[in-house]
Amino acid sequence: MESLKNKPVDSPNSDLSEQIKAATKDSHIRAENTQLMLNFQRGQITETQYKLLLCSLYEIYQALEEELDRNCDHTGIKPIYFPQELARLESLEQDLEHFFGPQWRNKISVPAATHRYTQRLREIGKNSPILLVAHAYTRYLGDLSGGQVLGKITQRSLGLRGNKGVAFFSFPGVTSPNKFKQLYRARMNCIDVTDQEKLDIPDEATRAFELNIEVFDDLHKMLSITEENSRKDITSNTFASSPVLQFALGVGVALATVGMGVYAF
């Protein structure tokens, strides 16, 4: 990953939110143009794709929100700590139970890139909590910005009704996403950071986007392998009659391949 130090950014005297925006511009565009996100935007998301995405989102938000909770009194975290308004973990649990049933925790499968992402969150939560600001900003404000649109696309693509299976995209504690984003940016810009931290936080935001891109790419690889196995039709009649087993085997093969280094965010 190219360091922020090698990229042109706004003046050190500009707001932190503006520095993050400038530093992540290219990565933001790349993230939106990954194959998985393009499929999403075109309304071509399948149930299998969506399930895999939910699994990774759950692992990522579990790590992020546990570290934010643990560091909620940190001077850099406290101003942007909004668990009632923003927390996604409970919503993701509802969505996973909708698709996988009560035993959903035993069916979570994620690629190696997701583990790298969560490891990074745990690492900075322990050693440099101020950098959590970058991850919270990029994730939550991204969800607020595109959540309603992606939620409707998912509902149409999968034939879902109401909030079932798409709770992740809903923010009942936020009455006006635009006003809340303005509040969030203002609170973040008031965080007392050192000159070095004002460089490190945008750099970490770029890393957050790169980690997301890696997750999307790994998920796409997993899905490609799952679909290839389905086309080969190498399973028994018993296996073929069980969509749950088809999904589990496809993911298992994909995970093994990704874990062995098929992928060189």
Q: What is the 3-state secondary structure (H, E, C) of the chain?
A: CCCHHHCCCCCCCCCHHHHHHHHCHHHHHHHHCCHHHHHHHCCCCCHHHHHHHHHHHHHHHHHHHHHHHHCCCCCCCHHHCCHHHHCCHHHHHHHHHHHHCCCHHHHCCCCHHHHHHHHHHHHHHHHCHHHHHHHHHHHHHHHHHHHHHHHHHHHHHHCCCCCCCCHHHCCCCCCCHHHHHHHHHHHHHCCCCCHHHHHHHHHHHHHHHHHHHHHHHHHHHHHHHHHHHHHHCCCCHHHHCCHHHHHHHHHHHHHHHHHHHHCCC
Higher pLDDT, 60 or 249: 60
Q: Is residue 36 part of a domain?
A: yes
Q: Is residue 116 part of a domain?
A: yes
Q: Is residue 183 part of a domain?
A: yes
Average pLDDT over residues 206-218: 94
Q: Is residue 123 part of a domain?
A: yes
- pLDDT for the residue numbered 81: 98
- Give the pLDDT confidence of 43-65 residue by residue, as tens digits: 888 999 999 999 999 999 999 99
Q: Lowest mean pLDDT: which of 147-151, 198-202, 204-208?
A: 147-151
CATH code for position 62: 1.20.910.10
Q: Is residue 256 part of a domain?
A: no
- pLDDT for the residue numbered 33: 84
- pTM above the 0.95 mark? no
Answer whether 83's CB lies under 8 Å from 65's CB. yes
Is position 185 annotated in a ligand binding site?
yes
- pLDDT for the residue numbered 50: 94
Structural domain boundaries enclosing 56:
14-220
> Which two tokens mark 244?
């749950």
Q: Is residue 2 part of a domain?
A: no
Average pLDDT over residues 21-35: 88
User: What is the sign of the dihedral through the CA atoms of 97, 98, 99 and 103?
Assistant: positive
Q: Is residue 177 part of a domain?
A: yes
Q: Is residue 263 part of a domain?
A: no
How many structural domains are present in the chain? Answer: 1
Does the pLDDT value for residue 254 go beyond 50?
Answer: no
Higher pLDDT, 181 or 250: 181
Does the pLDDT value for residue 126 go beyond 60?
Answer: yes
Is position 21 annotated in a ligand binding site?
yes
